Amino acid sequence: MKKLVLYILLLSAPFAVHAQFDKLKDSVVQLYGVIMTADSLKGIPAVSVVVKGRNQGTYSNDQGVFSIVVMKGDIIEFSSIGYKPITLAVPDTFRGNQYSMIQLMVADAQYLPYTIIRPRPTREQFERDFVNTKVPDDDIEIARQNTNAATRRALARSLPPSATEAASSYLKQSATKYYYQGQAPPQNIFNPLAWADFIQAWKRGDFRNNN
């Protein structure tokens, strides 16, 4: 008896899987259509078409045409800046796997606070305010200020040395130390080149106390 039941289950399993696959295949829908304005019937570009509850969506093209694969019974949300969002339920009673539609969207008017523009009382006051108005720097002026010599020297003093600079300084000090091994290194107090470097460093402010 147990063998007979097991045999019947094995025979019915492929039919159950096939029926489940047919049901899943029948529930998949290719949803496509056009999104248009309700007043002028013009295609709306870049409308967000999102399936609620799933990370799935698309956008309409320049003519307002869209296409997306959904399931029967899904909730579709249409949203765009300047228009009221709309939700649509895909019918789960129709037959077939394609569903076409024309979705109309209504403009959402946004009223901003009013602004009153008044002229200056006198020409002299307008000229004075115009001259004293601070104009923000553009990208070219900001780049020029960031690349001048003073800014680069200040950044060089504040930034730590790189690995290449540290290694080069260490190797130079080691070479000087080994070169004068066993004797006193020369004093550059009477060297005019060393004095010239010292004066330039003093003018640059290398010895200035940052605190």
- What is the per-residue pLDDT across 60-110, written as a single tens digit (0 to 9) for each? 999 999 999 999 889 999 999 889 999 999 988 878 888 899 999 999 877
Provide the b/e sequence for 182-197 (b: ≥16 CB within 10 Å): eeeeeeeeeeeeeeee
Residue 78 and residue 48 in contact, taking contact as beta carbons nearer than 8 Å: yes
Domain range summary for the chain, segments of one domain joined by +:
28-105, 118-180
Q: Which CATH superfamily is domain 28-105 in?
A: Carboxypeptidase-like, regulatory domain (2.60.40.1120)
- What is the per-residue pLDDT across 155-170, written as a single tens digit (0 to 9) for each? 777 777 777 877 888 8
Helices of type H across the chain: 2-27, 123-132, 139-146, 149-158, 163-179, 192-204
Cα dihedral 64, 70, 71, 76 in deg (nearest 10):
-50
Residue type (1 letter), 112: L
Q: What is the pTM of this model?
A: 0.45
